[in-house]
Structure 1
Amino acid sequence: MRMMPLAVLPWRSLLLAAVTLFGVAVISFVLLRVVPGDPIAMMIAPGASAADIAQLRASYGLDRSIAVQFLIWLGHAITGDFGTSISMRQDVVHLIAARLPATIELTLLALVIALILGIGTAVLSTLSRRRLVGSAIDNSNGVLLAVPDFVWALAFVVLFGVALPVLPISGRVDPRLSIDFATSFILMESLARLHFDIALDVLAHMIMPALALALPLAAVILRVLKGALEAEAHQDYALLARIRGKSRLRVTLEETLRNALVPTLALTGVQFTFMFGGTVIVERIFAYPGIGNLAIDAVINRDLPLIQGLILTFGLIFILINLAVEASFGLLNPRLRHG
């Protein structure tokens, strides 16, 4: 069977991504407007007249049919205008742009921690000849798989924020150390500008929520990669490398690990998209100023424009991650680059 050239895949993927994003926009827009609750009722002051309510409803376009509302919203959204937040009275794009970098830095740090823990432990478990080590790793991994991220977050708050108060439990950076940042990527910018004291403080605020997000993902990576490494170790090319005198460590790192990473990478990409959803609760627990925390505020306040913008932001992130994972397959498996 002839394989499809990798150069053709991005165009099909981009087209599918555009269709998917449009579908997400339609479904979320309709659902947000048919569920019970009136956002205008949460904005009006006590004693407001019916005329005032009608005028406010008209100003947000909520007095028209859902189809007309969607067409008007879509026309503005194509130009980058996602409306004004009902609760915060600010531009939705600016609100999301100000909070998104915090979530990106948090999830990237969690991903790095998960990859280090998952891959390192999987390789260690594969190379270990002692059953006791393998059993201990498998049992510990079962616990990590069973405990959700928000439970780890609560446990870390109790342990390192209350019982042993060694880490901050809220915020993103100590205001006394803050400087005039040019961007909202505080960690990256502080490192680039050599403000290591600020970078360490940002990491101190991020380590607990990042670790809470990373542990479940590390457990998934460990389980999948360990099984893939054990399967690859029995392939002909691995046995041939052993016959040539290579040690188990060299065979694992130089031969089997790359092939075993392909299925692991696919699942990691899927789980990484779920990690963004997990930030909603974790960010709330740590009062972390990301889009997860912003999403909860938007839902509580029934802020339709902001909720719609956040849903599309999460959807776009999921699509971009999947495209990045698909593109990385060609790097790990050169055969996919050619027909």
Structure 2
Amino acid sequence: MLRYTVKRLLQLSVALLGLSLLLFAWFKALPGGPENRLLPENATDQQREALRASLGLDDPVWVQYGEFLGRIVRLDFGSSLSSGRPVATELADRLPATIELSLAAMLIAVGVGIPLGYLAAKRRGTWLDFTAVSGSLLGTCIPIFFLAAMLKVVFAQELGLLPTAFRLSAGAQYTDVTGLRVLDGLITGEFDVAWDALLHLVLPAIALASIPLAVIVRITRASVLDVVGEDYVRTADAKGLKPATIRGRHVMRNAMLPIATIIGLLLGSLFAGAVLTESVFAFGGIGSFVYQATTERDYPALMGFILVIAVFYVVINLIVDLSYGFLDPRVRVRK
């Protein structure tokens, strides 16, 4: 298991190195050179030369790439052109909000999607199966920003059941520990803050969970249908094992392999969906920051965001790969 983990870490390190090469090539290929994107149009030749010297753009390409890679390792992505603050600081301030939103959305998607997909497979051909499949198709068709806007209008503005925007109510006093408002409220005993943060989290989390929920329902249904037809499931049933034992030990444990894979991929993709969701609800996470950086062509901020997302994908994929060995002993043997 340790050897497999080290092997996977080396493979993922190579993937990150390849991404750094692509980002470096993209930065070098900006029309007119990076200095024309980092300076205003009325910049003087002296300002351009000074910026090129400070960025090391006159050095050989391999030297520039080495310095570029060194800055990445030090988490030095430069300064945001929008705010003037270091990109690493901006990301560190906003990342907890996006993590909290993404985890809440995935919790909804997994908590509802897996049981619903299992029930749809067990009740194949019934109204429950038809409703689950139709709902999953609808969930993948509705754009996130449209669903977010509809939820905001109906449940926040018309019914007044939930807050319309932000992570906390105006004037709320809280103790910042992890940056995750709900968790911080529970840790510090500020339960009113935790409840307020949870209410602000409901609508954006539901909107962001719509597509992952639909995908998990369909994958779970298909995976369970494949497993229930296997010989070992029929044998377990013929032996008179309890349905709960068959369901947990033979069906769901083997069906979880493709489900775990798709959950890992969806968790990484939630950051892309968070850009639109956070913009609708003014959630103040990394998504709104990237949206602003995109509209203002803030390339250092975009580069930092891409690298952070890549690291999350790498870590999540490593966790998913390691989980295979716990879900299916046959995977441990092949390792």
Q: Under a length normalisation based on structure 2, what TM-score does the superposition of the two structures give?
A: 0.89
The residue number in structure 2 matching 1:3 is: none
User: Structure 1: which amino acid aligns with 2:80?
Assistant: S
Which residue, 91, 115, 119 being the options, matches 2:114? 119
**Given residue 334 of structure 1, which amino acid in structure 2 is its aligned partner?**
P
Verify: 1:274 aligned to 2:269, yes or no.
yes
Corresponding position: 1:143 with 2:138: yes
Counterpart check, 1:309 vs 2:304:
yes
The residue that corresponds to 1:162 in the other structure is 157
Q: Percent identity?
A: 31
| Partner secondary structure for residue 225 of structure 1 | helix
Q: Letter of the 2:163 partner, please give it.
A: P
The secondary structure found in structure 1 opposite 2:2 is coil
User: Is 1:238 aligned to residue 217 of structure 2?
Assistant: no
Matches within 5 A, 1:126-205: 126-128=121-123, 131-205=126-200
Aligned partners of 1:57 and 1:171: how far apart in 2?
A: 40
Alpha-carbon deviation of 1:322? 0.4
> Is it true that 1:31 corresponds to 2:44 in the alignment?
no
Letter in 2 for 1:217: P
Quick check: 1:71 aligned with 2:66? yes
- Is residue 127–residue 249 contact of structure 1 (8 Å, CA) maintained in 2? no
* Residue pair 1:73, 1:82 contacting (<8 A) in 2 also: no
Shift of 1:108: 0.9
Structure 2 residue 31 is the aligned partner of structure 1 residue 7: no
Secondary structure of 1:177's counterpart equals: coil
Match of 1:80 in 2: 75
Question: Shift of residue 42 of structure 1?
Answer: 7.7
Per the TM alignment, residue 106 of structure 1 is displaced from its structure 2 partner at its CA by 1.0
Q: CA offset at residue 318 of structure 1?
A: 0.6
Counterpart CA distance in 2 for 1:316 and 1:87 is 24
Query: How many Å separate the matches in 2 of 1:115 and 1:21?
Result: 28
Matched letter for residue 154 of structure 2? L
After alignment, is 160-169 or 111-120 more displaced?
160-169
Which range moves more in the overlay, 49-58 or 153-162?
Answer: 49-58
Match of 1:107 among 102, 123, 138: 102
What letter is aligned with 1:221? Answer: I
The DSSP-based 3-state class of the residue aligned with 2:240 is coil
Larger RCO (CA under 8 A, 6+ residues apart): 1
TM-score normalised by the chain length of structure 1: 0.88
1:98 equivalent to 2:99? Answer no
Q: Does 1:222 align with 2:217?
A: yes
Size of the aligned set, in residue pairs, is 334
**Which residue does the alignment assign to 2:295?**
300
CA distance in 2, matches of 1:57, 1:291: 29
C-alpha contact 2:293 2:301 (8 A) present in aligned 1: yes
Whether the aligned pair in 2 keeps the contact of 1:85 and 1:92 (CA below 8 Å) is yes
2:294 is the alignment partner of 1:329: no
Q: State the Cα distance separating 1:70 from its structure 2 match.
A: 3.3
Query: What amino acid is aligned across from residue 262 of structure 1 in structure 2?
Result: L
Given residue 90 of structure 1, which amino acid in structure 2 is its aligned partner?
R
Contact 1:39 1:303 in 2 (8 A): no
Partners of 2:175 and 2:188 within 8 A in 1: no
CA contact (8 A) 1:111 1:272 kept: yes
Shift of 1:337: 2.4
Tell me, yes or no, if the aligned pair for 2:227 and 2:254 is still in contact at 8 Å: yes
1:176-226 CA-partner distances (Å, limit 9, x unpaired): 223231332222221112222111111122211211121211111111111
- Residue 279 (structure 2) pairs with residue 284 (structure 1): yes
In the superposition, relative to structure 1, how do residues 246 and 8 fare at CA in structure 2: closer, same or farther (>3 Å)? same
State the distance in 2 between where 1:68 and 1:76 align. Answer: 12
Q: Determine the C-alpha separation between the residues in 1 that align with 2:30 and 2:40.
A: 23
Q: Is the 8 A contact 2:24 2:68 kept in 1?
A: no
RMSD over equivalenced CA pairs, Å: 2.6
Separation (CA, whole Å) in 1 of partners of 2:176 and 2:294: 29
Q: Take 1:288 and 1:67, find their aligned partners in 2: how far apart are those partners?
A: 41
